[in-house]
Structure 1
């Protein structure tokens, strides 16, 4: 110790700092051993692929099995944390842009469009790609001859070929309008062709064929989202989906979740049709509750109901938790107790008190196990005919409606959606639900439009998702989605 103190102060501080650094370097080296290893001893295959990619890029081979893009991507797959391959892909994108410009100067729009697709795939600057694509399409239209395109479009329309390929009427009219946006003959031809395309949709809606109607609407929106016939068709689809939603909710309210699941399964086969909201969370929750009730006496029925809940979109973690609880309940099952027993009455009172406490906290649906809905469901399972339970259900339903109205008035749309979902869980067949969902979806669209005008595209995209989840048939949804796509 005396020798230590005899050393100069600067030496002592340096020795201490060196010791601390040595101690810290050991765990740091353990944590970073993999990145350091890759940096100090890189995979030789990575360097070989990158060198071949550099040579291919230098030689102008951008695509193909031995092209620069494929080789850089293979190198990146080997060592994702190395920057050289990522930078190489960016150079390939820039080279594709330069190649597109060269093809345009040479008057070859087809090759220019192919190069632009490669540039887009590699995330080259979108504004430059769009500008060059417009030039290529205009050059392509002029090269083909606008008059010839118009004649071909009219001939295809006369034969009833509306949108079944690049030589159909609507794609050809679109090419003309890209070169001459105000061409009256092309505008009128497109209008007539879209009317022909949409004509069967009205009859399909009348006979309940939503798949055909939705498919025609989707195809028409590719060419003109603002066509005059689309709002009425959207409204008809929305009404039909709302009627389906009411049907499912009535089945659920009547205690027939398995029948509701069969109905929803039949509708899910219609891929082009948006599904009623009741076929998602409300159906899944009802199936879980039915499975829980059936488990003690009918375990096979419970397993079937759980499988239906999985098809309805219930998360696997929730299903596993219910299955574990059912197994535990089966092991600890005791004889059924009478609802009027003092212990059962006390449990009911406790569940209702916890539900009220959760309501005061605003925890309508979360956290799981301690929400209004969970405590009320426990009380219903204990004593479904108890007057206290029935009064609590009515009071909580009214409270959920007030919560939704207050949040909507305060423009707290997230809170309004949560309260609306609680209202839907408490009274799935309530007549005012559809109107409330439509109103909230419209508010999300209005807020999303404001965000989009302010340049907040991520927030606008979130608003679009909220509106679609709340009411997939709300008027203006597809038009707003189209605005968002163009803005992006």
Structure 2
């Protein structure tokens, strides 16, 4: 038998190990105190925690809800082209269903105009408006065939507003007029108009001469009797206007002349009447200017308002009325500075009634609040030593507020508030006078520096402080105009990026600073067109 064939001895035991029962020193299952095992050293992974999963799921749900609710404003801010494309799509949809224009801003015209306001070079918006004009002409023809003449006139007016080709519009207008004339009995209308003219009932009601003549001419534009009757009636009205001007009743005369212009802008006697009205308006403005210089504010206000009632675009009268409001606001500031609050409130009410959005009115309101706060800090029973300490604290507060550029806000802690309090406490103190003389140049420098840096809010705060410290400064009107134009420029840039809310705010700021600022009207029109749901 060979060695390999020999069997091992039966008494030999081979080593074996149950590895599932072996415990190692670093095994988490080993709770033996000899190894000093601590379960806190081996926490489970964070991704296995149910609490982490629950919070993560909740955060994801909240983020999804925010994105759903605010998807449109977020898209307008971060992707302005998305907002423009959305407006174009909405305009296309409204055009397809025939909703060409709507007062609520949901018509095709309004959507295309809003897109054009955000991007003036968008050719799709211009093409859309041209389609709206053509669709309006189609609607006018359809309404004419259905004898819905009021709707036909409205559709034709929309087409003309969107500058449809004149030849096409004229053709539709002629067809509409022919249809209207074919279904109307003109002779009774003409007889009624002539009878009203003979009775001296020229205007003021639907059954008077001029409205009846207009109805006849709308149906038959060449009817000689109606043309001659209207001419004579308008001449009689202009004679009434001349009589009113001779009596100094400019507003009443202007109303009569406006009615004549509405009936026939080309009347032969109208230019002479308008020239007489303009001369009367110039005289009225001159008299109001004299009243304003003499501080007769109530008379000046009435004079300017009379002129504006007949000539709403009269710039001199508008500017004069703004000066009246500023004068009332200045009165309110002075009365508040002397702690005469009843008189200050009365003057402020007048200014607010004339120009509620004026920056001067806003500054007067703030001055009144500051004066009340300053009065509350003063106590006549304090000793000279205490008053001296109060003055020192105020001067120190002025220096700190100046370093922070807190010229007019916050109330009670601004440079201006504390200066007025110091002046009320010690008006003859040399330190107070020195601070007052030093602050005005500092405020003007602040305004110029902040404006150059396009920091509009801070620049406007410095401008307000300048106006408060020196309301009659000759450089203020130009500074206000510059500030307004800066608001217009920045607002226009933000509007182009889709930020309609900021553009609206910029428009309000510019309008309050300088209502006649160059470019304000155009910017206001862009903002108006961009405001769609």
Could you state the TM-score of these two structures normalised by the residue count of structure 1? Answer: 0.50
Aligned equivalent of 1:330: 375
SS of the aligned residue for 1:32 comes to: helix
Return the alpha-carbon distance in structure 1 between the equivalents of residues 215 and 303 of structure 2: 39
SS of the aligned residue for 1:167 comes to: coil
Q: Is the 8 A contact 1:97 1:129 kept in 2?
A: no
**Cα deviation 1:115-143 (Å, max 9, x = unaligned):** 54787999999879997676454433344
SS of the aligned residue for 2:462 comes to: coil
The unaligned stretches of length 5 or more in structure 2 are 1-55, 73-98, 107-135, 378-420, 486-512, 527-533
2:70 matched to 1:27?
Answer: no
What pairs with 1:72-221 in structure 2 (closer than 5 Å)? 100-104=143-147, 112-116=148-152, 135-221=175-261
Report the Cα offset of residue 102 of structure 1. Answer: 4.5
Q: 1:234 aligns with which of 249, 264, 274?
A: 274
Q: Is the 8 A contact 1:198 1:220 kept in 2?
A: yes
What pairs with 1:334-483 in structure 2 (closer than 5 Å)? 334=422, 335=424, 341=430, 343-352=432-441, 354-355=443-444, 367-371=459-463, 375=466, 378-379=469-470, 393=474, 396=475
- How many pairs are equivalent? 322
| Structure index of larger Rg | 2
Q: Is the 8 A contact 1:248 1:278 kept in 2?
A: no
Report the Cα offset of residue 230 of structure 1. Answer: 2.8
SS of the aligned residue for 1:175 comes to: helix
CA 1:313–1:100 in structure 2 vs 1: closer, same or farther (change >3 Å)?
same
SS of the aligned residue for 2:263 comes to: coil
**Cα deviation 1:434-457 (Å, max 9, x = unaligned):** xxx9xx99xx9xx9xxxxxxxxxx
Q: Is the 8 A contact 2:325 2:351 kept in 1?
A: yes
**Cα deviation 1:215-257 (Å, max 9, x = unaligned):** 2122112211232333333333334344443444444434x3x
Aligned equivalent of 1:309: 351
**Cα deviation 1:330-360 (Å, max 9, x = unaligned):** 3343436557946424522441464478579
Report the Cα offset of residue 209 of structure 1. Answer: 0.9
Return the alpha-carbon distance in structure 1 between the equivalents of residues 442 and 278 of structure 2: 40
The alignment's C-alpha RMSD in Å is 5.5
Report the Cα offset of residue 95 of structure 1. Answer: 12
Q: 2:301 aligns with which of 264, 271, 286?
A: 264
Could you state the TM-score of these two structures normalised by the residue count of structure 2? Answer: 0.46
The unaligned stretches of length 5 or more in structure 1 are 1-19, 37-68, 77-92, 105-111, 382-391, 408-424, 426-436, 448-457, 464-488
Comparing both chains, which one has the higher relative contact order based on Cα–Cα distances under 8 Å and sequence gaps of 6 or more? 2
Aligned equivalent of 2:40: none
**Cα deviation 1:284-330 (Å, max 9, x = unaligned):** 22211111101224211001011111111232882643432232333
Report the Cα offset of residue 24 of structure 1. Answer: 5.4
**Cα deviation 1:179-210 (Å, max 9, x = unaligned):** 44344443332221111112111111121212
